[in-house]
Structure 1
């Protein structure tokens, strides 16, 4: 079995995938990891014998050299990230049987779209319950997109969060999906 594990984010996004890749190899799978091209990620994966397929720009450079994104800047950054996922993941996933996607939402949605196009089974995982809709906690607001202060019902806040996600990232995802012959993703991403 060949498995591609894909993420875009910090060490907290990559490190759990190192453990997953090692375990999958112990079970007989051939594993590759798509992750940012940061040197520490490359060294960590090389140290356990798992190939890194670099995707996008350095996550460290993005977070340390760039100013915090504004709500106007997020769609552009998301479009770049999604496009890089479509390019790198498409090539890396050829011949794979399964894809595991995690990390920043636009990157995971891009990776899962590629799996959909290639007919590969895929799953999206998250390491933070903060990003999973729940009646027990509110979502995190995106820069420049605060929630109305009078809204306190977590279910309503999660609906507003879905609207923000679609407004910020939906066009970029759907443009890339259309470029590979996939239909637009609806309000709930693939």
Structure 2
């Protein structure tokens, strides 16, 4: 299995079991340095374009943790589109995002509103997406079998706080 991750700081090295190749990218050089120090066998690169650093149809899985939470919606769409290009038919993409519908995310939004009211700068872009947007983009790009997991859902794993979505590249016909 070949897997890639954008937002490489999440230490995906623990997921290396069962994968013959895992690579990761991030836009922040310090995160790449931290990752390679902790996971020396992990292939990690600084990559700032809204593209996936992989050949066409070369990946079984792509994971974006805390990427779509900090970029504009247009770049989210570009990442989804290029993820589709990089995935093998039947490959999976999973990503995390923030949404207003999640009660855990609303205080974060209101904190940002209060900072702006007080004339304080926002230190980081936090982007809130809607499931309907993601579903529309996925359909337009060609993904299928979409499933969402609420950030507070601890049914099959510890809660992630961010909402997750998984989707599959349609198998070749």
Q: TM-score, normalised by structure 1?
A: 0.44
Task: Return the structure number with greater strand share.
Answer: 2
